Amino acid sequence: MTDQILSILLSVVFALIFWAAGTLLTRSQPFALGRGRYAGAFPFLGAILGASLPEKVFNSPPFMAFAGAAFALAILGYLRDRYRVSYNTLLPWCIIIIVAGMFSALSAPVSIFRIFAVLVWVLLITLCLKISALVYEMPFILLATTSLSQFIFFSTGTHSIIATTINTALLTASIILLLFSATGNRALTGSSGIFAAGLMLAAVSQIEGSGNLLFFGLFIPSMVILFPFALISTLIIASYFGNRLHRPERSGERQWSWSLQREKTVVFSGIIFLCLNFFGLLVLVDSPAFGYFALFLLLLSSLAGFVTTFARRNISRSPAPLKIEMLGIFIDAVIPTQVIDTIANYLNRKNSGLMHIVTAVSLALVRAGEEDRFKSVMCRAEMVVPDGAGIVWASDFLGTPLPGRVPGVALVSQICEHASRNGWKLFFLGGKPGIAEQAAQTLSQNCKIDICGIEHGYFSSDSPEEEAILKKLASARPDIIFVALGVPRQEWFIAKLRGYIDHGVAIGVGGSFDVISQTLPRAPVWMQQCGIEWLFRLWLEPSRFMRMMKIPVFVLQVLRHKWNNPEA
């Protein structure tokens, strides 16, 4: 016990000394890691050295092999942090170091299969820690809670000295970094710290050779993958249905306002991780029922505290703004009838130029954040209306609720009805050959509309064919142009169209022609009301999967904005 206490104390001391030395060595070096003080792997390497001295394992070949591998990975991570060396360049070297280091550290006999399993295990845990770093404190919480559970497990019997030493170092270093972040400061471990910590956590279970510790190790990948997904999904569902955003006829008044304080979210996440680790520990030590009951009460009280913090009765009665800002784009707070009234007023003014209406979905906002040129096109548009359910959810979640959606498919039909009464000339552009014709024919069955041109969308940008279509539009002089080329191509096309037309309204309507022509069936009503039409479209067109991967990016950007702006 005396050696264990001394190991902890020296681990803390050496972690702080190495950290201070690392700060001095790197203070004049720029790191593109955001605000904070660069720590890298220095606390972890110092903790390894300090913890090994009382246990007399520093000179043992297996421990030296592990320490050498941790040091080498820390250097590779530093190259990434300091010089932005690509992961593709670093990965082969990481594999060589992990295989060589762990092969020497593991007890014989070591099969090729086990080395491969160890390699995959180290890379998986490191990847998951890297993903969790999207929320700054999360890697420290994961490392601290898991190593604490393993520390308690090691105290129950005789175990590998090397494994207990590494775990002690991991526990002390991660707690030091967590406490430092709790003061409002930031210790930037970067890839260097993540690489070293990932090897340490994976090595504990592998060197110990215990299936029980492998059971503990599973918590890191599972929590990083499942917990954020479960938390974010719960937040979205609660906020979406809590204010009845799925009901088109809702009054627009908010019943709930949503709070997502970063500090409380991190604390809540830490308690959840700790409960899950302790649950595994209770299973391993065959705890009586009282232990499970106490753990359940802790989890239940934490959930209740988080829910009451997250959802608050809305007391604001401030007037709704005409526009709201979301991720750098201003969106008009309008309903479909207001859009049509604006179009009618615009068309009554002769030679007023081309009016560009963007029917915005979440993917368009993500692209605008990635491409300045596309963002400038959206910002120049006369109207940006909320087409996607994700836009409506995000506006409500950020505290600036929109009155509802303006779905592109329904807007096309409503505009055609008004065009029939007002004599507006319509031009249909986009879709596969024949689709625009079918859409126009379907719309003509319900009302008499003046169609002055139809063109498919299978032409290349900046091609002679595109130039011919632009000139055809100019000569046709339509009042309304429906452009169904998809995002972002339809917005680029409308931007070019400004140089050819001095009067009219151009609306990007995405895949509306496919739905109107019944080439693709529209999602069931309940899916439309729940805002998951995109899921139905994905079912019909699996090729859209990679595009849909941008949806989680949008959600994360909204959450990050909420975290960084407490008043939102």
The torsion angle over the Cα atoms of residues 183, 185, 190 and 196, rounded to 10 degrees, is -30
β-strand partners of 504: 354
Residue 90: its H or E element:
helix 87-105
Identify the three-state secondary structure at position 321.
coil
- Which range, of 244-258, 265-279, 508-522, averages the lowest pLDDT? 244-258
Dist CA 190 CA 163 (whole Å):
25
Q: Encoding tokens for residue 87? A: 């992961």
Give residue 283's pLDDT: 74
Model confidence at 185, pLDDT cuts 50, 70, 90, reads: confident
Dist CA 501 CA 453 (whole Å):
15
- Which segments of 285-325 does DSSP mark as H helices, in order? 289-310
Model confidence at 214, pLDDT cuts 50, 70, 90, reads: low
Helix 190-208 × helix 61-83 angle, to 10°: 160
Dist CA 282 CA 296 (whole Å):
12
Q: In whole angstroms, how far apart are CA 348 and each of 313, 416, 508? A: 44, 17, 21
Give residue 316's pLDDT: 60
Dist CA 468 CA 425 (whole Å):
20
pLDDT at 93 over 90: yes
The three-point CA angle 546-551-557 to 5° equals 130
Give residue 284's pLDDT: 67
State the average pLDDT over residues 4-27: 92
Q: What tens digit of pLDDT does each residue of 254-263 get?
A: 777 887 776 6
Non-local (6+) Cβ contacts of 59 within 8 A are none
Give residue 318's pLDDT: 60
Would you say 295 and 275 are in contact if contact means Cβ atoms under 8 Å apart? yes
- Which range, of 44-53, 85-94, 543-552, averages the lowest pLDDT? 543-552
DSSP string, 535-567: HHHHHH-GGGHHHHTHHHHHHHHHHHHHHH-TT
Give residue 193's pLDDT: 95
Give residue 343's pLDDT: 92
pLDDT at 252 over 60: no
Q: Is 80 left (phi over 0), alpha (psi -120 to 50) or beta?
A: alpha
Would you say 454 and 426 are in contact if contact means Cβ atoms under 8 Å apart? no
Q: Encoding tokens for residue 559? A: 């959450």
Q: What proportion of the chain, given as a percentage, has pLDDT over 70?
A: 88
pLDDT at 33 over 60: yes
DSSP string, 117-178: HHHHHHHHHHHHHHHHTTSTTHHHHHHHHHHHHHHHHHTTS---HHHHHHHHHHHHHHHHHH
Strands (E), 372-525: 383-386, 425-430, 450-455, 480-484, 503-508
pLDDT at 105 over 80: yes
Choose among 566, 560, 562: nearest CA to 135: 560
Would you say 154 and 167 are in contact if contact means Cβ atoms under 8 Å apart? yes
Would you say 187 and 177 are in contact if contact means Cβ atoms under 8 Å apart? yes
Give residue 99's pLDDT: 92
Give residue 72's pLDDT: 96
Give residue 385's pLDDT: 93
Model confidence at 314, pLDDT cuts 50, 70, 90, reads: low
Strands (E), 245-382: 256-258, 311-313, 323-326, 329-332, 353-360
Q: What proportion of the chain, given as a percentage, has pLDDT over 90?
A: 27
State the average pLDDT over residues 48-61: 85
Helix 408-422 × helix 435-446 angle, to 10°: 60
Q: What tens digit of pLDDT does each residue of 467-506 get?
A: 999 999 989 899 999 999 888 889 999 999 988 888 899 9
β-strand partners of 304: none
State the average pLDDT over residues 209-229: 64
Dist CA 349 CA 355 (whole Å):
11
State the average pLDDT over residues 132-145: 80
Give residue 149's pLDDT: 79
152 compared with 315, residue with greater pLDDT: 152
CATH topology of domain 323-562: Rossmann fold (3.40.50)
Highest mean pLDDT among 149-153, 210-214, 230-234: 149-153
Q: What tens digit of pLDDT does each residue of 106-117 get?
A: 876 778 888 888
Tell me the whole-structure pTM to 2 decimals: 0.69
Q: What tens digit of pLDDT does each residue of 141-174 get?
A: 888 888 887 888 787 777 788 989 999 999 999 9
pLDDT at 246 over 70: no
pLDDT at 463 over 80: yes
pLDDT at 566 over 60: no
Model confidence at 530, pLDDT cuts 50, 70, 90, reads: low
Non-local (6+) Cβ contacts of 475 within 8 A are none
Give residue 94's pLDDT: 94
Q: Is 284 left (phi over 0), alpha (psi -120 to 50) or beta?
A: alpha
Give residue 172's pLDDT: 96
Choose among 439, 409, 430: nearest CA to 485: 430
Model confidence at 19, pLDDT cuts 50, 70, 90, reads: very high
Alpha-carbon Rg of the chain, whole angstroms?
A: 29
Q: What tens digit of pLDDT does each residue of 391-431 get?
A: 888 888 888 888 888 888 889 999 999 998 888 999 999 88
Give residue 74's pLDDT: 96
Dist CA 160 CA 51 (whole Å):
14
The torsion angle over the Cα atoms of residues 140, 142, 148 and 153, rounded to 10 degrees, is -150
Give residue 249's pLDDT: 55
237 compared with 179, residue with greater pLDDT: 179
Give residue 397's pLDDT: 86
Give residue 12's pLDDT: 95
Strands (E), 314-417: 323-326, 329-332, 353-360, 383-386
Dist CA 195 CA 25 (whole Å):
20
Instruction: Supply the mean pLDDT for the chain.
Output: 83
Q: What tens digit of pLDDT does each residue of 278-302 get?
A: 777 777 667 778 778 888 887 888 7
The domain spans of the chain are: 2-217, 236-317, 323-562
Other beta carbons within 10 Å of 555: 20
